[in-house]
């Protein structure tokens, strides 16, 4: 989707005009209503449309209006209008027009919108236009997106373009995260994923990839144990962005990258196992974030690390009952090979904090089904040893429309991962506090650094059906909250 900003008198293609609460017409809607001889007012009277955010009403070839389609979109109460509402409403317009045969649309925001607001409308349009069609070879013409250009009519074009330069980088990061989540596991496996990450050097990121020989020399027995049943070699990809002060400690972001998770010997049920191609959603968020930070030249030092592994039930695969030694020296008894993500993260977390001495650590993972039961698919759970990080992420999540909810940690949960045969075990006590025991496991490997674990099992896959910005199964969740966290708290 191409985004343009222009003056109102340059509008072309389909025309989208805003309507506020209680059918209050914007100036652009008033002008169209007058030109059409009151057609808009009559349409509003006939339709269940009163200007609520997200409502869309389409008029085909309205007389007197120089546009093949006129789309009314609701923005709600003008006094309570936020950029987030504008973003969602613009996305609703794109969702309505994407397959209609229209190739261009102009959203009339002139007369009231700032450059920042116009850029947020553009972001909504970009996110709503996402498609993952590369393997659909027999689509009919009417199934293919026709809309190629979204133009935003705004008074201050220069301000809108300047704001969009930053938001467009975030959109690119979200799209990248969606792409890698949606790719099938025969196309995206640890080696090919690492190669895709290496391509990000084109944006100024420094990329380093560790192979199994290097990980073995480092003593990463937990990560390597997970991947030993796969035909694909495990990898760790490291992305560095040096946009802050020289010598300033970096922020460290770590992602779980299980390109496919069969459960290993503790095999998952067959129904729905195809969706385990998305068990790398945490890594997708980190990769997308690093693309966004580099794209907008963020004034921060940041490092992204992703453990890329496939978990398969081969004859050489890890078994329940095995005991592995992590890079930290902590021994782990394997009680369930499907609790593999925490094993991968344990070695990556330890290596990252030992090598880079970061200011703080945030990890993301589609870690536990229990998180989905607890919070559904609209919020991610956060587990942290830092009130400061918790408060900042809560604010960033609300601002970025990727909300989070803090979950508990504590000594009363540490006993859930105790075992008689090793230092700790890789699962908790049956069905009790599954997400918390997983977080307690990870806490063992951060060495008291300020740290937060974000369990995105409910938000990384499946899409938000009632949000027009989320048209994809792979949501790209995490890019926006982390970017907002960085911008609001850690940039010069």
Residue given tokens 């389609």 in the structure block: 69
- Distance between CA atoms of residues 47 and 60, nearest Å: 15
Tokens found for residue 323? 């005991």
207 bridge partner residues: 239
| Secondary-structure percent of the chain, ordered helix, strand, coil, rounded to 5 | 40, 20, 40
Q: Is 30 exposed, middle or buried (0-12, 13-18, 19+ CB in 10 A)?
A: middle
Q: What is the CA radius of gyration of the chain?
A: 24
Contact 83, 116 (CB under 8 A): yes
Q: Nearest-CA neighbor of 484 among 272, 204, 249, 289? A: 289
For residue 485, the SS3 value is helix
- Distance between CA atoms of residues 156 and 357, nearest Å: 44
Residues 6 or more apart from 212 whose CB is under 8 A from it?
Answer: 224, 227, 233, 234, 235
Contact 459, 474 (CB under 8 A): no
Determine if residue 22 is left, alpha or beta; phi over 0 gives left, psi from -120 to 50 gives alpha, anything else beta.
left
Helix runs in 11-156, H state only: 27-35, 39-46, 83-97, 115-128
Q: Sign of torsion, CA 87 88 93 95?
A: positive
Q: Is 470 exposed, middle or buried (0-12, 13-18, 19+ CB in 10 A)?
A: buried
Question: 394 to each of 124, 261, 332, 391, 407, how far by Cα in Å?
Answer: 22, 30, 32, 5, 12
Contact 13, 71 (CB under 8 A): no
What phi and psi, each to the nearest 5 degrees, are found at residue 14?
-65, 150
Active site residues: 268, 342
Alpha carbon 274 to chain centroid, angstroms: 20
- Distance between CA atoms of residues 65 and 67, nearest Å: 6
- Distance between CA atoms of residues 223 and 345, nearest Å: 7
């Amino acid at each position: 989707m191409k985004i343009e900003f222009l003056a109102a008198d340059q509008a072309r293609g389909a025309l989208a005009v805003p309507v506020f609460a209680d059918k209050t017409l914007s100036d652009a809607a008033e002008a169209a209503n007058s030109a059409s001889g009151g057609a808009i007012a009559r349409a509003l009277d006939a339709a269940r449309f009163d200007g609520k955010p997200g409502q869309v009403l389409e008029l085909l070839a309205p007389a007197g209006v120089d546009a093949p389609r006129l789309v009314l979109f609701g923005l709600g109460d003008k006094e309570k209008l936020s950029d987030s509402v504008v973003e969602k409403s613009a996305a609703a317009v794109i969702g309505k027009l994407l397959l209609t045969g229209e190739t261009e649309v102009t959203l009339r925001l002139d007369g009231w919108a700032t450059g920042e607001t116009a850029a947020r409308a553009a972001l909504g349009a970009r996110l709503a236009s996402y498609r993952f069609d590369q393997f659909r070879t027999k689509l009919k013409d009417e199934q293919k997106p026709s809309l190629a250009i979204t133009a935003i009519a705004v008074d201050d074009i220069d301000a809108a373009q300047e704001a969009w330069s930053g938001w467009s980088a975030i959109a690119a990061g979200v799209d990248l995260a969606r792409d890698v989540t949606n790719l099938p596991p025969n196309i995206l496996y640890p080696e090919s994923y690492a190669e895709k990450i290496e391509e990000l050097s084109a944006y100024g990121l420094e990329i380093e990839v560790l192979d199994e020989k290097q990980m073995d020399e480092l003593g990463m027995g937990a990560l390597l144990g997970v991947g030993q049943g796969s035909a694909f070699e495990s990898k760790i990809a490291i992305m560095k962005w040096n946009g802050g002060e020289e010598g300033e400690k970096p922020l460290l972001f770590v992602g779980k990258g299980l390109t496919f998770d069969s459960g290993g010997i503790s095999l998952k049920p067959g129904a729905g196992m195809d969706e385990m191609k998305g068990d790398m959603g945490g890594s997708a968020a980190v990769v997308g974030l690093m693309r966004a930070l580099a794209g907008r030249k963020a004034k921060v030092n940041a490092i992204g690390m992703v453990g890329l592994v496939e978990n398969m039930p081969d004859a050489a695969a890890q078994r329940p009952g095995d005991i592995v030694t992590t890079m930290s020296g902590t021994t782990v008894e394997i009680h369930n090979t499907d609790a593999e993500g925490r094993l991968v993260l344990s070695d990556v977390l330890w290596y990252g904090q030992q090598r880079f001495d970061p200011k703080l650590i945030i990890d993301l993972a589609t870690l536990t089904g229990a998180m989905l039961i607890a919070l559904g698919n609209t919020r991610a759970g956060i587990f942290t040893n830092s009130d400061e990080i918790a408060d900042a992420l809560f604010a960033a999540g609300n601002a970025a429309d990727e909300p989070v909810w803090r979950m508990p940690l504590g000594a009363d949960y540490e006993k859930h991962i105790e075992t008689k045969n090793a230092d700790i075990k890789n699962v908790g006590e049956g069905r009790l506090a599954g997400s918390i025991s997983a977080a307690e496991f990870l806490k063992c490997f951060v060495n008291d650094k300020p740290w937060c674990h974000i369990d995105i099992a409910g938000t990384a896959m499946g899409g938000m059906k009632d949000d027009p910005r989320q048209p994809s199964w792979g949501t790209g969740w995490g890019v926006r909250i982390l970017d907002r966290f960085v911008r609001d708290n850690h940039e010069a």
